[in-house]
Amino acid sequence: MQQTQLRFHLLELLMKRKKRAVWLSSILLLLSLVITAVGIFTETRTENISIIGYASGIILAFGSFLGLLGLFLDENRKQLLIAAIIFLSFGIIGAFICVIVDGVFTADSIDLRPLRAGRCQYYTSGQNFIYENYLATVPCQSFTESCNLKVRSNTCYCCELYNCANGDYLKNYFEFVGVKSCQEIQSVYIMIWLVTTLNISAFILGIATSAILGNFKNTESLIAPDVSVQLFNFHNSRCNAKEETQSQPHTSPSAPLLLQEQGVDTVQQVCCLSDLDV
């Protein structure tokens, strides 16, 4: 009796952890797909500004997908969960690196003050796509001196961020290649910080998901290697117990009370599985 009740308790605990793991893995999968889509979209906005935020989204998406497969498939469940935890671990590390690279280095190297003040110029060759990759010479006037700057077509450049004496950056990006206008840089800046924020959320959620998957794997190994077969057998035993309780005849005046008490005990023992079916 105690072993049966303990098994019922473990199965109930297992199904609760499975439900929690499914929710976390599904949310992480959606978040990873959003990170991948937003990261690739931001990466393709400009030609000279690169971000790596979408890489962690790809790894986390694959890890959460393996986790969902391990939760719903009975065959090779342990191997799938172990592989999911490994990929999630790499994705967590990748998300942390993406936060540092994209948030600290890339976004910090973009100065929006000249753009917001309207002190940046935009150069385009118009419809002449033949000259799109050629460098054109444009005048550049900074605060202290003036010089000539060579830019490509569809480029927004800020002369006050360009060092005319050395012909290099001062500290921040001074040109943004492949944009449609200078106003597009502000949206790119916002998208970079959005990818960084999403990676922070994925970092926290990835840790929680990998921990829940590990707990589910350990709890599942305590009960049996094939939990689905046990759940099916317990479901059949519950149905048989209910049928026997309803069809069992009363043989004596004192027997109904005894049989009712036994039927109640039997139903209470198997009633715990009703929550598992839900």
20 with 147, same domain: the answer is no
Question: Token digits for 49?
Answer: 């500004």
Higher local confidence (pLDDT), 11 or 46: 46
Q: Return the bridge partners of 169, or none.
A: 162
Q: Do 268 and 149 reside in the same domain of the chain? A: no
Shared-domain flag, residues 98 and 7: yes
What phi and psi, each to the nearest 5 degrees, are found at residue 15? -70, -35
Q: SS3 for 276?
A: helix
Q: Which domain holds residue 171?
A: 119-181
What local confidence, expressed as pLDDT, does residue 205 receive? 96
- Reference 52, options 8, 94, 6; nearest CA is 94
Q: How far is Cα 92 from Cα 160, in angstroms, rounded to an integer? A: 39
Instruction: Name the 3-class secondary structure at 160.
Output: helix
Q: How far apart are CA 250 and CA 252, in angstroms?
A: 6
Q: Are residues 127 and 177 in the same domain?
A: yes
The answer to whether residues 174 and 196 belong to one domain is: no
Distance CA 45, CA 53 (A): 14
Q: How is residue 182 written in tokens?
A: 């200078």
My answer on whether 10 and 136 are in the same domain is no
10 and 89 together in one domain: yes
Between CA 205 and CA 25 the distance in angstroms is 9
**Where is average pLDDT lowest: 109-113, 143-147, 152-156?**
143-147
CA separation for the pair 49, 110 (Å, rounded): 10
Tens digit of each residue's pLDDT (9 = 90 or more) over 119-149 = 889 988 776 555 556 778 888 887 777 888 8
Tally the domains of the chain. Answer: 3
User: Do 53 and 132 fall within a single domain?
Assistant: no
65 and 147, same domain (yes or no): no
Residue 104 has pLDDT above 50, yes or no: yes
From residue 197, alpha-carbon distances to 7, 132, 192, 201 in Å are 43, 35, 9, 6
CB 43 within 8 A of CB 50: yes
Question: What is 98-138 written as a DSSP string?
Answer: HIIIIIIIIGGG---HHHHHT--EEE--TT-GGGTTS-EEE
pLDDT, tens digit, for every residue of 220-251? 665 655 444 454 454 445 555 555 555 554 44
- Whether 110 has a pLDDT exceeding 70, the answer reads yes
Residues 201 and 264 in one domain: no
Are 138 and 101 in the same domain? no
- Residue 268, classified by CB atoms within 10 Å of its CB into exposed (0-12), middle (13-18) or buried (19+), is exposed
Q: Which residues contact 73 (CB under 8 A, 6 or more apart)?
A: 80
How confident is the model over 172-211, as pLDDT tens digits? 788 898 898 998 999 999 999 999 999 999 999 999 999 9
Q: What is the b/e burial string over 49-63, where b = at least 16 CB atoms within 10 angstroms of the residue's CB?
A: bebbbbbbbbbbbbb
Give residue 201's pLDDT. 96
C-alpha 55/C-alpha 79 separation (Å) is 24
Please indicate, yes or no, whether residues 131 and 192 belong to a single structural domain of this protein: no
